């Protein structure tokens, strides 16, 4: 990392715990300025302890990605904290939904998942675009999932169905839509020099990752958050505009949409 890179400003949504909190932890450790956006930042013991350790390098902002007014207010706070722009937006906040057969998925829950996992990242991106345009890196990272890969899902028909392959319609649809959001914005924003990717963290031991194992009564994820985040940050740090619109995993391999 060059000296100049240390002054980069990252914004991370869903920063209270899990992968979001680990993004904030590693970015601060690398010397960056970080905006940690969370529904209740004061209720996150992890964020509170990072705030006392890193002082003004960390800005805590209240942000509920399912609430348009909250997104607008958060964007205003971020522009006051960083009027010269932000470099990288990481749309990390997300929800999983309940474990039911896809054919029995509740329609109301589907709407809630789409609002948080698809509409939320779009609104956050739209409200922060003026600051991203002012930044040096001009990068947007959508935290997606291989569960959103249509080609990946259909492989189960050839390679063998399992209980999990029959579930998670809402989550799959939301991450698939998020991937198309990545592609559509990549096309629209390319000429402004803005890079946007989707990336899958792998199956990681967080509240979300471990809940899948508990629901399916199978062994938990073998991947920890520090390893996943270190991998994703390596991908992000090496990003160029030529890579815009691509779907990666945390190891830097391209994932088919």
- Catalytic site positions: 171, 175
Q: Which of 75, 113, 143, 185 binds ligand NDP (CB under 6 A)?
A: 143
List for the chain the helix, strand, coil content (%; round to 5): 55, 15, 30
Q: Determine if 142 is a binding residue for ligand NDP (CB under 6 A).
A: no
Total length of the chain: 257
Q: Which stretch binds ligand NDP (CB under 6 A): 73-81, 91-99, 130-138, 157-165?
A: 91-99
Q: Determine if 200 is a binding residue for ligand NDP (CB under 6 A).
A: yes
Q: Determine if 92 is a binding residue for ligand NDP (CB under 6 A).
A: yes
Q: Quick one: how far is CA 177 from the chain centroid?
A: 14
Q: Which stretch binds ligand NDP (CB under 6 A): 35-43, 53-61, 234-242, 244-252?
A: 35-43
Report CA-CA distances (Å) from 95 to 174, 209, 227. 10, 11, 21
Q: Determine if 255 is a binding residue for ligand NDP (CB under 6 A).
A: no
Residues 78 and 97 sit within 8 Å (Cβ to Cβ) = no
Site string for ligand NDP, 114-133 (x = CB under 6 A): --x-----------------
To the nearest 10°, the Cα dihedral for 178, 183, 185, 189? 150
Q: Give the DSSP letter of residue 167.
A: B
Residues that bind ligand NDP (CB under 6 A): 13-14, 16-20, 38-40, 63-66, 92-95, 116, 143, 145, 200-201, 203-204, 206-209, 221
């Amino acid at each position: 990392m060059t000296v100049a890179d240390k002054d980069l400003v990252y914004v991370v949504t869903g920063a209270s715990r899990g992968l979001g909190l680990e993004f904030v932890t590693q970015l601060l450790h690398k010397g960056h300025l970080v905006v940690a956006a969370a529904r209740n930042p004061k209720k996150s013991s992890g964020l509170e302890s990072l705030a006392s350790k890193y002082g003004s390098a960390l800005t805590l902002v209240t942000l509920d990605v399912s609430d348009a007014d909250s997104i607008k207010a958060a964007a205003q706070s971020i522009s006051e904290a960083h009027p010269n722009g932000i470099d990288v937006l990481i749309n990390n906040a997300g929800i999983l939904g309940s474990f039911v057969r896809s054919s029995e998925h509740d329609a109301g829950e589907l709407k809630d998942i789409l609002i948080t996992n698809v509409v939320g990242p779009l609104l956050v991106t739209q409200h922060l675009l003026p600051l991203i345009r002012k930044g040096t890196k001009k990068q947007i990272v959508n935290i997606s999932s291989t569960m959103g890969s249509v080609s990946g899902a259909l492989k189960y028909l050839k390679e063998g169905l399992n209980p999990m392959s029959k579930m998670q319609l809402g989550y799959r649809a939301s991450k698939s839509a998020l991937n198309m959001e990545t592609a559509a914005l990549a096309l629209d924003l390319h000429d402004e020099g803005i890079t946007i990717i989707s990336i899958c963290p792998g199956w990681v031991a967080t509240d979300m990752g471990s809940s899948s194992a508990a629901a399916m009564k199978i062994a938990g994820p073998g991947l920890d958050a520090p390893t996943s985040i270190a991998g994703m940050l390596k991908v992000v740090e090496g990003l160029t505009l030529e890579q815009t619109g691509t779907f990666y995993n945390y190891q830097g391999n391209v994932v088919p949409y």
